[in-house]
Structure 1
Amino acid sequence: MASFDEDETNDYEDSQTDPQLSLASSSETYMVGFVIVNIVGVQYYSGRISGREMVGLVREPLNVYDENAIKVLNTRGAQVGHIERGAAKVLAPLIDIQLIFVEGIVPNSPNKNPKFKIPVQLHVFARIEAFETVKSAIIGGGLQLICGNVPSFALSESEVVKDRRNCKDVKSIDEIFKFVDENVGKKVGLLVKLEPPKDVILSELFEHQKEGLGWLVGRENSEELPPFWEEKDGAFVNVLTNFQTNSRPEPIRGGIFADDMGLGKTLTLLSLIAFDKYCCMDIDKSNEMNVLSDKAVVIDDSGKKYKRVGKGKKAITNTSRKKRKLGSSDLGSGVSENLQESNATLVVCTLSVISVWVDQLFEHTRLNSLKLYLYHGKERTHDVDELKNYDIVLTTYNILSIEENRSASPINKMEWRRIILDEGHLIKNASAKQSCAVASLNGKRRWVVTGTPIQNSSHDLFSLMAFLKFDPFSNKGYWNRLVQRPLVQGDKKGLVRLQVLMSTVSLRRTKEQNLIVLPSKSVETHYVELSQEERDLYDRMEEEAKQVVGKYINDGTVTRNYSTVLSIILRLRQICTDVALCPHDIKSLVPPDNVQDVSNNPELLTKLMSMLQDTEDDFDCPICISPPTNLVITRCAHIFCRACIIKTLKHTKSSCPMCRNPLSESDLYSGPPQLSDSASTSSSSHQSSSKASALLKLLVENRNVKSVVFSQFRKMLLLLEEPLKAAGFKTLRLDGTLSAKKRAQVIQDFHILEPDSPTVLLASLKASGTGINLTAASVVYLFEPWWNPATEEQAMDRVHRIGQRKEVKILRIIARNTIEEKVLELQEKKKQLARGAFDRKGAENKSNVGDLCRLISLSV
């Protein structure tokens, strides 16, 4: 079975393609109509509604009083009440099977003190092919569904409807975004360069790092109202949601630090921590620096230094250092006031990046000026007071996932001075356990650090907004309504809104801006012709794939058989790499129509297990959208985490979440045990593939330089070891099976420059593609294309980054006239979106199951 390391997440979680993700992010979802029902039980909850306000709807299948319960939250996350039982009984089952997505909007200002109930419009969205089914279910359940052909449909408060009519008395959504954008535009170019304390940070920062430090410090000390908030008549109003409060909303003290990979973000963040500890300062409303310590120096654009503030000068106390009572206004509703306040910074990263932070700390800071604690491993402390003695606490996403619900965890008992999510794009699936774990952390300042904030689609950004607590976009309903749905349906307004949001909370600079002088990087595509044997096998399997997927298209069951389509595409990709990675019959992987037969089909289960053994990270659990842990296979040939599927079966009507066929715990089959390297491949008797032969030839041509070979298939890395050794190359391997200590040792060995040192690093694309420094190499080989171009770019930038002294050459090895060429086209679509979110060029491209079908020359 594949080694599912905590570093390795799956790029199939594209929110436009996975049927298990929210319908709200689907390009195929449209408004069916709306029903008017009541929010009840409002007398029991503290949440209040201002009127014309969108509300959050959350299913509560474990509610002991009503299994169909749908609780209602206001835009600040406080519970208002529940949807009345009669309506919930009709809608909840449709929500549970993901046939519909529902948004709630209070149409008019309710009474100031509603005693028992509040009317609400529930707007129902579904795929077009499900419209009639949805209408029948809702009307048959006794609810009045108001559709487009009914005159009262014009009373809808949905943005979908409001866009069709002129409302001169109220600012439109886009007028509000335009106003915010103009305010942000006035601050463009006002980045102030800031020097870190020289007796702490020993290295000289580049100019862009000094500007980055100024931006980070300014954000952390901001006293401005958050975007989309205004003060009116002594109250504070969110102009997007119409939510009103008498309490001044907290500034967003944090954001997305999205500088390109390899531009020195880690050193800039260490400078932030050092500056905050040793240089107490603030920023006034005119955006000028007021330095409060003789260790702080500010530089203006002309290069002149501002005068240091000496004794006798008025100093402004950094109020965030003061002890204060923790309440819901600081931490969100329901947060305990018994948290331990700390001046420590919690850094969350992947296992492979731990050594990077440790190395950077030792390389760039004065010894013991910043104290670091590694919160990882079995011996980690459970003492909150001990952690408070450190400046930096370093842990991993996996540790947070494990301890999310542990009341004894010191991580959850503290209110951190700041939380930094390194490689923050890893939380792009808001439903994944690690995303929920980091979102629940308590901290005054919150930072997402990633060179690739958008990896698959704009939906990746929602979880970042949720972590930053950027209201109302941390509310999934608002995100889908205002950004996601317009984007995926091709409305240019969606892209403009996304760009405005990113400009308000993020800083991004790229290597193309020539911020630092790096050696040049070239990217070449080296095409390989398959051998006759490989070509015959590929053509035959592609034809079989077309027949199988074509049948799904004709039957309208592509989505239900999504995992099977993925497995077929995986097999075609593996043939391009090496035929040894896959069986020679795609149809053998297709479950029979009669699901009951699979439970008595050990041969099929064995082949599915073999498929999992071959690939390192091509599958994830459709429920948590993360690499499966304690993996199981159902009798209907779907793959889940054991805990996820058992929990789902307990909360639903015992059916498979993928195909809706009956399923019970007795129908679950355990995955195979981890195979050893020797058991998983016998490379000594293996004939090299066309790609492997081409790689060997290229390596021989570049024998005098160190090289990194990236592949997403761990078995392929093993297959390459023997022929490379026979050709005289000394190799190292870096993949998800290695411990943090072993990974650090491999990287250290690779950087040795002695004559007999290793010259080729065989690296897993996912386990080695983020955070680590591989500047000892100057040539990179990408053995196969990956769905996500950001993953490839991260891998390239392990080599092309600060510290590189040689020109860098990237060689992408592509099998000609195969699915790999189509993957390159899909990559380009995703690149356009990522660029468009920041530079206001490009557009959102629709991406759905059709993309996968087109990879094998089919259309839907």
Structure 2
Amino acid sequence: MAASSSRGGGGDDNEPYLLGFLVTKIVGLKHYKGIVSGREKVTLVREPLNQYDDNAIAVHNRRGVKVGHIEKPIAGVLAPLLDSLLIPDAVGIVPKVPSSKYGGKPFKLVCQVHIFARPAAADIVKEAIKDKGLALIYPRHAEFSLSESAFVQEETKRSDQDVDKLFALVGKDGDCKIEPMDAPGDVVLSALFEHQKEALGWLVHREESCDLPPFWEEDTDGGYKNVLTCQDTKERPAPLRGGIFADDMGLGKTLTLLSLIARSKAPNVGGKKAKGAKRRKIDDDAEEASRTTLVVCPPSVFSSWVTQLEEHTKAGSLKVYMYHGERTNDKKVLLKYDIVITTYSILGMEFGQEGSPVKDIEWFRVILDEAHVIKNSKALQTQAVTALNAQRRWVVTGTPIQNSSLDLFPLMAFLKFEPFSIKSYWLSLIQQPLGKGDKAGLSRLQNLLGAISLRRIKDTESGSKSVIALPPKTVVACYIELSAEEREFYDQMELEGRNKMLEFGDRDLISRNYSTVLFFILRLRQLCNDVALCPLDMKSWFPTSSIEDVANNPELLKKLASLVDDGEDFDCPICLSPPSKTVITSCSHIYCQTCILKILKSSSSCCPICRRSLSKEDLFIAPKIQHPDEDGLGSLGSDKPLSSKVQALLELLKRSQKEDPTSKSVVFSQFRKMLLLLEGPLKRAGFNILRLDGSMNPKKRSDVIKQFAAIGPDAPTVLLASLKAAGAGVNLTAASTVYLFDPWWNPGVEEQAMDRVHRIGQTRPVKAVRLIVKGSIEERVLELQERKKRLISGAFGRNGGAKEKKELRLEELRMMMGL
């Protein structure tokens, strides 16, 4: 738990500030591998399931390796304050590491624990510390100036260079003068929050303003000049109608967008005027022709749009067509609707087809919901949405940057925001200066985003003012010890894997066995959850030769297909999205069919990973994996001992229910089979459960979410959910606790999952618990998450070319194997 913010006064009245620090000791150093250096900031991690002390607070170094524990008396005071959120955060600093005359590790280390509290809770925290006889050193104390507090505050400021800092200029110039706007009362029945009214005013202003596009100025001779590219023109550049709506997840962006659509819909013949807002004036015949808005979103968000329409709009006031499954090819039919909703994958599939009506229409407005999906500019679905014809174009996402600032380029390309929509300009004006640490690149990017973006956040973690009062959210890690039998099996498997990696030796052989290594890593991750998830035959985990060929090897085909089917976070290496129409090459690598066929049409005609020559005859369609009967799988293992992780989850759920019988929890896992396996133990423990996974159609998902929101003695209390089905655009505010049963590669995906619960409508404090097996690949996944966060932070690091990305992938594989 790193510090959320620090201050010496001023700022938001509810912002946590540095209250003072306690001097304590880190003990048990000889039992752990982690080492620290002087003036190192360390992370404090709560261990509520520690078998020796349920108040235990572990200490991890900068690399995420465990160093020891905070001594028991201090932990006994801090743990209840952390758990109750009276202390949102505490930061540890080891001021000095004593040298040992015997050359070994010291037995103890002095540590300053800097305590952050909100003003309203400050007196309670001070009193609790005082009652236990501990000395809190306040900022006015003489010893405070001799401490490492200045270093803590500087480090905290430095760690804040993230996406919210990048959006720091948003709304600070002209946008702050834009008047809030009410939704049309004859269509939208729900009252908007103040921040939604402000957003609606901003959206309408962006669509209707006749201002020059950003970076264009009028010359004294009546011409126009772009101050970045020095381009001159006599014709006035067309206004940029649209932009990036990047409000934090859970701030009600969908309702705000429905209000925008309602405002511009065609008025009913002889109908009433909009209440509370004037209907948009349409100025020319071309705009009269169509007022249809195309909404593009992932399948999981379909249910959210349907639910929002049902809950917030007058029945029948907005005509909606679901362009999904069986669908019309007549564009005149689509233009009769106010809203057409479709998915990125459908647009990608139709991009190369003749007769797609979506491509032929000039849409009044296109909205890309969860737009971070198009982060790869080469992906077919990205090209498809960029090619759409539209008068107004909106990018909507709470996570505009997931890996690096390069994620923003496809958004600019879709918005047609020249010159940034042209890759060479993006690279020369933004990307390359950022990579060199040139402040000009960051300044341009901030000004660019400030001109066309709106971003507000739910909390004060980035130092920005919160736009809405939501209950606090805390994230804790629960570390789990495997049983002796589990540990022996896991260690044996990991050792075999490392030996195999060492056998591969050079990078070429690792590349040629890329999918096999990924398959092995998947099995290790499944072992951390439950042995029942993976086959116990070790031979089936490893290649039979140094270079495998799937030709005439159906078992290998099936094994590699299960790599995609078993987990939800496998991406095609070309488009960086989950594969559609999965194809396996003869050299055992996995791609989307469209992606690899496009490569084969190019001059290279070789595998992008191992560079082996490929033809169409070397491509094999992945066989469908047959799933066992769901009911049978749910009761599997009723006579077998539960895995350590399942036992830990049950204990946490029981404790939560005992504290508050009305509370509800969501358990996320990326393994669908794991969700099925959890059903039996949870039902036998007396929990009323529901399941939400990617195999369900949008209507079934919507029904499950409604059932979960029900209250009463027989209402469901636990939702078992896959991140793919419930990670984006889904409202789960009926719950107040989130359990991440297994960690994901991408920290942004986990944030999305947590924010399905921590969003508008939440009335309780939200707690998110990561379940992590000690001494396992899961700890290394956490290290990889931190690495990704560092890439996003600051100036976003160097993005590199294809060679660097390939090296990075291989390095990550070795890292996952502990090499």
TM-score of the pair, normalised by structure 1: 0.67
- SS of the aligned residue for 1:781 comes to strand
Q: For the Cα contact (< 8 Å) 2:435–2:795, is it kept in 1? A: no
CA separation of 1:389 and 1:566: change in aligned 2, threshold 3 A: same
Find the partner of 1:811 among 751, 755, 769. 769
Residue identity opposite 2:701 in structure 1: R
Q: Please give the per-residue CA displacement for 1:149-174, whole angstroms capped at 9, x wherever unaligned.
A: xxxxxxxxxxxxxxxxxxxxxxxxxx
Name the stretch that deviates more: 225-234 or 588-597: 588-597
Q: Could you tell me which residue of structure 2 aligns to residue 524 of structure 1?
A: 476
- Whole-Å separation in 2 of the counterparts to 1:495 and 1:787: 27
Equivalent positions of 1:648-797 (< 5 A) are 648-652=599-603, 654-678=605-629, 684-685=636-637, 687-703=641-657, 704=661, 705-797=663-755
The answer to whether residue 795 in structure 2 is matched with residue 823 in structure 1 is no
Q: Could you tell me which residue of structure 2 aligns to residue 414 of structure 1?
A: 361
CA separation of 1:832 and 1:253: change in aligned 2, threshold 3 A: farther
The answer to whether residue 215 in structure 2 is matched with residue 268 in structure 1 is no
CA separation of 1:341 and 1:547: change in aligned 2, threshold 3 A: farther
Residue identity opposite 1:733 in structure 2: R
- Whole-Å separation in 1 of the counterparts to 2:214 and 2:544: 54
Q: Could you tell me which residue of structure 2 aligns to residue 514 of structure 1?
A: 466
Residue identity opposite 1:619 in structure 2: F
The answer to whether residue 285 in structure 2 is matched with residue 323 in structure 1 is yes
Q: Could you tell me which residue of structure 2 aligns to residue 128 of structure 1?
A: none
Equivalent positions of 1:420-439 (< 5 A) are 420-439=367-386
Q: Please give the per-residue CA displacement for 1:10-47, whole angstroms capped at 9, x wherever unaligned.
A: xxxxxxxxxxxxxxxxxxxxxxxxxxxxxxxxxxxxxx
- Whole-Å separation in 1 of the counterparts to 2:776 and 2:555: 29
Equivalent positions of 1:373-392 (< 5 A) are 373-378=321-326, 380-392=327-339
CA separation of 1:272 and 1:605: change in aligned 2, threshold 3 A: closer
CA separation of 1:714 and 1:217: change in aligned 2, threshold 3 A: same
Q: For the Cα contact (< 8 Å) 2:264–2:291, is it kept in 1? A: no
- SS of the aligned residue for 1:527 comes to strand
Q: For the Cα contact (< 8 Å) 2:727–2:752, is it kept in 1? A: yes
Residue identity opposite 2:304 in structure 1: V
- Give aligned pairs, total: 630
Equivalent positions of 1:23-102 (< 5 A) are none
Q: Please give the per-residue CA displacement for 1:518-557, whole angstroms capped at 9, x wherever unaligned.
A: 2332222111112223323333333344444456664566
- SS of the aligned residue for 2:177 comes to coil
Residue identity opposite 1:253 in structure 2: R
CA separation of 1:612 and 1:716: change in aligned 2, threshold 3 A: same
1:222 shift after superposition? 1.9
CA separation of 1:184 and 1:750: change in aligned 2, threshold 3 A: closer
Bigger RCO of structures 1 and 2 (CA < 8 A, at least 6 apart): 1
The answer to whether residue 290 in structure 2 is matched with residue 342 in structure 1 is yes
Q: Could you tell me which residue of structure 2 aligns to residue 627 of structure 1?
A: 578
1:799 shift after superposition? 1.4
CA separation of 1:566 and 1:476: change in aligned 2, threshold 3 A: farther
Q: Could you tell me which residue of structure 2 aligns to residue 471 of structure 1?
A: 418
Q: Could you tell me which residue of structure 2 aligns to residue 453 of structure 1?
A: 400
TM-score of the pair, normalised by structure 2: 0.70
Q: For the Cα contact (< 8 Å) 2:171–2:454, is it kept in 1? A: no
Q: Please give the per-residue CA displacement for 1:651-705, whole angstroms capped at 9, x wherever unaligned.
A: 4454323212233333333322231243895852364321111111112222322
1:501 shift after superposition? 2.6
1:278 shift after superposition? 8.0
CA separation of 1:571 and 1:413: change in aligned 2, threshold 3 A: same
CA separation of 1:196 and 1:590: change in aligned 2, threshold 3 A: same
- Whole-Å separation in 2 of the counterparts to 1:238 and 1:225: 10
The answer to whether residue 609 in structure 2 is matched with residue 641 in structure 1 is no
- Whole-Å separation in 2 of the counterparts to 1:409 and 1:668: 28
- SS of the aligned residue for 2:750 comes to helix
Q: Please give the per-residue CA displacement for 1:767-800, whole angstroms capped at 9, x wherever unaligned.
A: 2111111122222111011122221111112112
Q: Could you tell me which residue of structure 2 aligns to residue 87 of structure 1?
A: none
- SS of the aligned residue for 1:437 comes to helix
CA separation of 1:682 and 1:359: change in aligned 2, threshold 3 A: closer
Find the partner of 2:318 among 370, 381, 404. 370
Find the partner of 2:226 among 238, 243, 249. 238
CA separation of 1:369 and 1:537: change in aligned 2, threshold 3 A: same
Residue identity opposite 1:352 in structure 2: S
The answer to whether residue 210 in structure 2 is matched with residue 223 in structure 1 is yes
Q: For the Cα contact (< 8 Å) 1:458–1:484, is it kept in 2? A: yes
List alignment gaps of at least 5 residues for structure 2. Answer: 1-166, 460-464, 800-804
- Whole-Å separation in 2 of the counterparts to 1:560 and 1:211: 54
- Whole-Å separation in 2 of the counterparts to 1:582 and 1:275: 53
CA separation of 1:548 and 1:489: change in aligned 2, threshold 3 A: farther
Identity %: 56
1:412 shift after superposition? 2.1
Residue identity opposite 1:692 in structure 2: V
Q: Could you tell me which residue of structure 2 aligns to residue 578 of structure 1?
A: 530
Residue identity opposite 1:628 in structure 2: P
- Whole-Å separation in 1 of the counterparts to 2:498 and 2:178: 54
CA separation of 1:411 and 1:183: change in aligned 2, threshold 3 A: closer
Residue identity opposite 2:284 in structure 1: K
Q: Please give the per-residue CA displacement for 1:355-384, whole angstroms capped at 9, x wherever unaligned.
A: 222222232223333332322231x33333
Q: For the Cα contact (< 8 Å) 2:170–2:451, is it kept in 1? A: no
Q: Please give the per-residue CA displacement for 1:555-606, whole angstroms capped at 9, x wherever unaligned.
A: 5665665544433433332222223333568886565776476546555444
The answer to whether residue 240 in structure 2 is matched with residue 252 in structure 1 is yes
Q: For the Cα contact (< 8 Å) 2:667–2:741, is it kept in 1? A: yes
Q: For the Cα contact (< 8 Å) 2:515–2:589, is it kept in 1? A: yes
Q: For the Cα contact (< 8 Å) 2:513–2:548, is it kept in 1? A: no
The answer to whether residue 150 in structure 2 is matched with residue 197 in structure 1 is no
Q: For the Cα contact (< 8 Å) 2:507–2:810, is it kept in 1? A: no
- Whole-Å separation in 1 of the counterparts to 2:603 and 2:503: 29
- Whole-Å separation in 1 of the counterparts to 2:561 and 2:551: 14
Q: Could you tell me which residue of structure 2 aligns to residue 844 of structure 1?
A: 797
CA separation of 1:426 and 1:754: change in aligned 2, threshold 3 A: same
- Whole-Å separation in 2 of the counterparts to 1:623 and 1:455: 17
Name the stretch that deviates more: 788-797 or 400-409: 400-409
CA separation of 1:792 and 1:845: change in aligned 2, threshold 3 A: farther
The answer to whether residue 362 in structure 2 is matched with residue 402 in structure 1 is no
1:427 shift after superposition? 1.3
Q: Could you tell me which residue of structure 2 aligns to residue 16 of structure 1?
A: none
CA separation of 1:446 and 1:249: change in aligned 2, threshold 3 A: same
- Whole-Å separation in 2 of the counterparts to 1:624 and 1:514: 35
Residue identity opposite 2:734 in structure 1: A
1:822 shift after superposition? 3.0
1:762 shift after superposition? 1.0
1:297 shift after superposition? 6.2
- Whole-Å separation in 1 of the counterparts to 2:733 and 2:476: 19
CA separation of 1:729 and 1:825: change in aligned 2, threshold 3 A: same
Q: For the Cα contact (< 8 Å) 1:422–1:450, is it kept in 2? A: yes
Q: For the Cα contact (< 8 Å) 2:605–2:615, is it kept in 1? A: yes
Q: For the Cα contact (< 8 Å) 1:519–1:805, is it kept in 2? A: yes
- SS of the aligned residue for 1:251 comes to coil
- SS of the aligned residue for 1:408 comes to coil
Q: Could you tell me which residue of structure 2 aligns to residue 121 of structure 1?
A: none
Q: For the Cα contact (< 8 Å) 1:257–1:506, is it kept in 2? A: yes
